[in-house]
Structure 1
Amino acid sequence: MTKPFIIGITGGSASGKTHFLDKLLHSFEPGQVCLIS
């Protein structure tokens, strides 16, 4: 099992953070990624 890690996403309003995270989350299997907002 690999060690978990945290990725922080920052940016201004309407900069594409939500769009990026949506694509990122859908590229992993369920249970591999957790979004904390």
Structure 2
Amino acid sequence: MNTVGTPLLWGGFAVVVAIMLAIDLLLQGVVGHMA
């Protein structure tokens, strides 16, 4: 591991995190609206 990381790896990681955050916010919004 002499490299910090490939742009592709960071890009994929960012996409996964963004999707997880979006789903979390969406679920919280739905639950908050229904409550």
TM-score by length of 1: 0.37
Which of 1 and 2 has higher RCO (CA within 8 Å, sep 6+)? 1
Which structure: larger Rg? 2
TM-score by length of 2: 0.39
